[in-house]
Chains A and B, each alone.
Chain A
Amino acid sequence: MSMDTDQLIKTLAADNAHRPRRVSSALALALLAAAPVSILMFTAELGVRPDVMTAMHNPFFDLKFAVTLALAAAAIAISLHLARPEASLRGFVWLLAIPAGLLVAGISGEMMMPQRLPMMTRLVGSNSRVCMTAVPLLSLPLLAAALVGLRHGAPTRPALAGAMAGLLSAALAATLYAAHCPDDSPLFVATWYTIGTAFVTAIGALAGSKVLRF
């Protein structure tokens, strides 16, 4: 049996009716399937902090969610863009400035307010080790899902696309963790959340360079 290029072309043309789902739907479906796993891990091991009803009136508690969700949205947009083979990062990296800007605004806001605790105490917080462990662990199911979703695309920069998958899964995991985290200072968030997120981003880049090639 043989298959020359003309025959292959004929066969591909015969398969023109096939319409796979878009990368955005594939990514959304994969993340929706993995989210319950992370939520279950969160409720079983951590849970929402007991004083959540009062905490919600603290703008710095709310800011954590604004930062993590803005980061997740930016990383999702960049990942989907990188799923196109001809994509360049130009015009997309600035999306990451939104969560960073929110965090900087939060830090400056907190600096201008009278504080009960010294700066270093707020930065070190009370729960940094849990934070650095929980963010990576909660992000693992989401990272696996994001990689599955992005495999549906055609990323020609697989490590970079993988890093964005890591970033988006860490940001979603951090959104969950923020509901447990007793530390609300933007200094704490900028330090420990960032370390956990950077770690997952690096894992994502490593995994992406292996599994996102097409």
Chain B
Amino acid sequence: MREREDEWTGLMRLAISGDSAAYHRLLKAITPVLRAAARRGLARAGQSVDQSEDIVQDILLAVHLKLHTWDANAPVAPWLFAIARNKLIDALRRRGRRIFINIDDFAETLADQPAAETASPTEVAAQLQTLPARQRDVLQSIAVESASIKDTATKFAMSEGAVRVALHRGLASLTAKLREP
């Protein structure tokens, strides 16, 4: 468990120094842990674990948009679990139940078997439809069609800078929309 968290910290340091592949690996590595914790939280609150993927995506977006609050000299796990815990409590509260989650819940799940992703469409997918056209097109091109920033720029006759801006704004407004009751 310890080595795994150290590995995350290493990946995160590479990520903030500009290594997108390391960032991708990090997000892939933490997702099963977040998913298991989300399921556990939902189950404990007596709610359907079907919604766990919404919570996972919500946490991933928050991790991404609040990356600059991580101190690169500190281990990444406490920072990550604090965000995850905050989002999980928030999600459960919005679903009408107040429950307290121990931070150890996240650490424990490290040892668990990774849970499979559920197939139903998520809130993120639904909110994607409500974005301004330009942001939606860019997000779809990169997420669904796996196009690079460069290819997306060519496809929509935009500069790469404009694609990057639309991408980031799209992710930020998705997150804002998820917060709406």
Contact = CB atoms under 8 A, between A and B. Distances in A.
A11 B86 contact: no
B140 A9 contact: no
A54 interface: no
Q: Is the interface of B mostly helix, strand, loop or mixed?
A: helix
Contacts of A84: 69-71, 79
Contact of A10 (B66, B90, B129, B143): B143
Contact of B20 (A3, A16, A21, A154): A16
B91 interface: no
B122 A3 contact: yes
Contact of B117 (A5, A13, A156): A5
B128 A3 contact: yes
A19 interface: yes
A16 B18 contact: yes
Given A9-B24, A14-B167, A86 B79 contact: yes
A16 B81 CA distance: 20
A3 B142 CA distance: 11
Most buried by A among B18, B81, B125: B125
Nearest to A158: B86
A4 interface: yes
Interface string B31-61: 1000000000000000000000100110011
A8 interface: yes
Contact of B27 (A2, A13, A20, A85): A13
A1 B149 contact: no
Contacts of A86: 74, 78-79, 81-82
Interface in A1-36: 1-23
A83 B129 contact: no
Given A12-B27, A14-B149, A19 B64 contact: no
Contacts of B143: 3, 7-8, 10-11
A209 to B, nearest CB: 13
Contacts of A11: 139, 142-143, 167, 171
A85 B79 contact: yes
Nearest to A3: B125
A2 B121 contact: yes
A153 B129 CA distance: 28
B68 A15 contact: no
B53 A154 contact: no
Given A1-B125, A8-B60, A16 B78 contact: no
A214 interface: yes
A10 B90 CA distance: 25
A213 interface: yes
B8 interface: no
A4 B122 contact: yes
A212 B87 CA distance: 13
A-B complex: 6 closest residue pairs judged by Cβ atoms = A85-B82, A13-B24, A86-B82, A154-B66, A7-B143, A16-B20
Given A5-B57, A9-B24, A14-B20, 5 more contacts: A1-B129, A2-B144, A3-B144, A19-B68, A154-B69
5 contacts: A1-B140, A12-B61, A13-B23, A16-B15, A16-B23
Interface of A: 1-23, 83-86, 153-154, 156, 213-214
